[in-house]
Amino acid sequence: MKILHFLVGRCDPDRVSEAGHIAYHMATQQQRLGHEVAIFAIDSRPVIPIEGIQVANYRATPLLPVVPRRLKKDVLAWGPDVVHLHASSAPEAALLARWLHGQQIDYVKTTHSDLTPPLLRRYGFLQPLYHTLIQRPCMNRALFIHALGDPQMINQQGITAPVLVAPGGFDSNKLPAAPDAEAFRAQYPQLEGKQVFLFMGRLDTRQKGLDLMIKGFGEAKLGENAVLVIVGPGSRAQRRALEALAANSGVGDEVIFTGPLYRADRFAALAACDIFVYTARWEDDSLPLLEAAALGKPSLLKRGVEPDTVFARYHACISVDANITAMARGFAQFTAMPDASIREMGVRAAAMVKEEYDWLKTTRKVTEGYQSYGANNKQQRQSHLKHA
């Protein structure tokens, strides 16, 4: 089978980019399964080669969402059986989907939190208008929609295409054999003797729920028993606003901002924490959350974000509602828990990642979906032509 993956942005396996991360791992696993695979992306940077897979980048047009003519020409020349769109809500994905439909080329779309109400309201009336007139019709013509988690949000947005649920996987080979937790703790001596809560991700206060996290940590009034470490990139203005929020919440000295960390430093921070905190208001997948779980760390999760259901089933987390008081109770509950109980939760978290977040398992399910839904679609086309 010839499978083409499309995204907006470079496919870089070493960056924590949801669309690029998923496209890379699905493509490499499909190649492993014996399929012919290519990745086409709209990005002006040089490609990062992937052995055995054709990768091509096409220059973006500033301020104007278009699908380059050369990309369309190369799609036709390559002749895919199916195109998998990973471009989230990017207009280029909808434009390409419309063109693919005209060429009678089957396509599939992975949703990346783009159907959540906050994102649909992000640009005022323009975003829901775009969804109604352009995005939704293109999604409804897909072979199926690949959902990383609970499909309820998809069904609520008027999507009539079939939905196939397959969670994002985790590449255990990316984990270092022995991340140096002590090196991270030595860099921040204020962690000594305290329970360490850690968040890792962009400093996007609204999407990541950092306001709930910091205010809840302050309301818990844990004193010198605990610290909250916040790891991730953000502008100076974002960081200053969060530092002010921590100070106003009475925990200015107990909240540590490290800025972004990469590679060995990233895993050292995850290994050094006791509990990972994940309070996103909307998000389908979190690589740092899975990395922490794979390292044997339990989590404090906001109830309703999809990983919560799997983590709760394995008793690998404490789930709380999306309000400050509930967050505070979650922090306090972990602080009151015996160390042995926290370690047991961590063991269950590591087992969960191995059992539930396997890239080969996910890729097989999606690829079988291409074949089964594609065969049905082909029969429908033949029937239509026969009766035309």
Place of tokens 């001596």: 189
**384, pLDDT greater than 50:** no
Q: What was the pLDDT predicted at 128? A: 61
Q: What tens digit of pLDDT does each residue of 201-260 get?
A: 999 998 899 999 999 999 999 988 899 999 999 999 999 999 999 999 999 999 999 999
Reference 196, options 245, 256, 241, 240; nearest CA is 256
122-166 pLDDT, tens digit each: 555 566 666 666 778 888 999 999 988 767 667 666 788 999 988
Q: What pLDDT band is residue 118 in, cutting at 50, 70 and 90?
A: low
Cα–Cα distance between 37 and 15 in angstroms, integer? 21
pTM (two decimals): 0.81
**What are 115's two structure tokens?**
């159907």
Residue listed under structure tokens 């605990």: 226
Instruction: Compute the chain's Rg from CA coordinates.
Output: 22
Give pLDDT, residue 387.
Answer: 47
Sheet strands (E) in the chain: 2-8, 36-42, 54-58, 82-85, 106-110, 145-147, 163-165, 195-200, 226-231, 255-259, 275-278, 299-302, 317-320
pLDDT class of 91 with cuts at 50, 70, 90: confident
Cα–Cα separations (whole angstroms), residue 207 to 12, 89, 150: 23, 16, 18
Q: What is the pLDDT of residue 375?
A: 74
Query: What backbone torsions phi and psi does residue 277 show, to the nearest 5 degrees?
Result: -115, 130
For residue 53, give the DSSP letter.
B
Distance of alpha carbon 278 from its chain centroid, rounded? 12
Residue 318 pLDDT: 96
Domains and CATH numbers, the chain: 2-169+358-387 (3.40.50.2000), 172-356 (3.40.50.2000)
Question: How is residue 142 annotated by DSSP?
Answer: S
Share of the chain above pLDDT 70, in %: 86
Question: Exposed, middle or buried: residue 239 (CB in 10 Å: 0-12, 13-18, 19+)?
Answer: middle
Phi, psi of 354, rounded to the nearest 5 degrees: -65, -40
Task: Give which of 246, 238, 291, 298 is closest to 269, Cα–Cα.
Answer: 291
DSSP structure class, residue 174? G
Helix axes 18-32 and 359-387, enclosed angle (nearest 10): 80
43: left (phi over 0), alpha (psi -120 to 50) or beta: beta
The answer to whether the beta carbons of residues 220 and 331 sit under 8 Å apart is: yes
CA–CA separation, 364 vs 359, rounded Å? Answer: 8
Say how far apart CA 178 and CA 22 lie, in whole Å.
25
